[in-house]
Structure 1
Amino acid sequence: ELSGKGAPVKEKSQQLRELIHLHQTQEERIQDYEDILYKLVQFHQVKEKLGHLHKSRETEFVDQPEDLEDAHEAQVHLSRAQEKQAHVDHLHKLALSLGVDIISSVQRPNCSNVSAKNLQQQLDLLEGDSGNWRARAQEYERTLTCSLEFCNTRDSINELKESFKDIKKKFNNLKFNYAKKNEKARNLKALKYQIQQVDVHAEKIQALKKKMEKVENRTSDSFLSYPNNKVNVLLEAMKDLQEHVDEFDKVVTDYKMTLDLTEHLQEMIEECHFWYEDASATVVRVGKYSTECKTKEAVQILHQQFNKYIRPSVPQ
């Protein structure tokens, strides 16, 4: 009897297990569908954000400033553009990743009745749009980079001009202050100090020339991407500065040469004064000795000794 009554129990247990399995399967399918729906919602939210960003960037591209005259302003525009494009790229990647996950999910057995054809078409369009927008963004950033480089180069040239003006002003003051000194004040010591100061200014000019060369080398490659009118502005500014610096360099060199000759002349004059005093004292001594000479031979010997001393000591 127990075994006879046990058959229905086994059957019911089997049915219960099947029912539990079916319930679990349905729960899994529901969970899969919920995951797909959640990702679909995310996908469309990301697409919507991309749409708003694209409209915003479209306006930005159309209204882009052609000539930014301030380096800070150009840098701000460029930084913002790069940040926006980085955000757009992130959203594109996120949308594509969500789309791929959704397509992968609907290909599972539990979701065999869901079609991914429409979603695949959206992904294809999204990927194509991504490339187009990236190309436009890169072109926009190149324009801003060009403006930034132009402003930086122009500002560097202006800084060089100011440095040149400062060097020239100080040099002219140095010349003027030395020129207004009286003859006594312009002694050899003062002259040597003046030469030292001129050498300092000459070194500053050479340092300025090196900076000019660096600016020119740094920007020569970038000039290729500049509009012709901007290239001409920079080239004319550099050419004008170069001409003024070269002209001033010649002035300093000539002035230094004059001071060097003056120094040499003063040294010669001092040497001549020293020789004259020494020679005068020698003449006095020889005159004194000559009175003591008793014979013609003694006078001749004294004369020979005098010539032997005087001739080699004459300044050349």
Structure 2
Amino acid sequence: MKILVVGGTRFFGIPMVNALIDAGHDVTVATRGNNELSFKGGVKHIVMDRTDADSVIRAVEGSSFDVVIDKIAYSSNDVKALLPNIKCDKYIQMSTCSVYAEDKPCINEKEFDAAAHPLVWADRTQDYGESKRQAERAVYEFMDADKCVFVRYPVVMGENDYTGRLRFYVEHVMKGIPMYVDDRDFAISFINEKEAGEFLAFLADKAVSGPINGCSRGTIKISELIDYIEKKTGKAAVYSNDGDAAPYNGLQNDMSYDTGKAKSLGYEFSELGDWIYELIDHEIAKVG
């Protein structure tokens, strides 16, 4: 298949593009040209600003694609600049589980219906969840419902994670830096970077449409994460209401996601416990 990837040059975009190459697809990567391409096989490369309609038109003029995988749609205006100016049979948008209004166990895709959401044409705002809801909603202005897919992940973790959220806990425990954790007993879901990329690639030639959740099986409590770091390092976490605010503060409830739709396509996500402790060990070694 002829596939255009918009973005995808770092973090879980790299295993995604590598998986597309391994599957034998003809891959073109579109970027602003700021990052080096580091894929294990050959890809075509075009330079464009996906937020600028004229730039998109110049970059893809005369081309058509079987699939567009959009890794960096952060608002309705992002979609508006891209989709009317590109020819494709299927569009896969990297969305997020932040589109769901409530943190709770076993959230099903039906709990947010993008097609029914009021559309507002806007750039990205500080409300990440609403910006991504608008990015999903805008697609229906340009694509038939059976030709678009919205992949919803919780927090993605991995050795190449540039957000530093796991590193925060490791550094604060190992260095005795006070941190403010509002509730240590909430359970949270994650997905690892390799699977996050490979699942996107898996969907390229599958007969699927609409939203689809992806996450590792199982959850971990913040207290379990911190306890593991303490036991591995022999250091004790320092808690303080005046300490640095910890990632994942503000959770409303235990949080997990129904991945039955992905399983019905033949994709089984890994157990969280099979990889997260190894990742914590990696972060401990980095800090140590």
Larger radius of gyration: 1
TM range (shorter): under 0.3
The structure where helix makes up a greater share of residues is: 1
TM-score, normalised with respect to structure 2:
0.19
Richer in strand (by share):
2
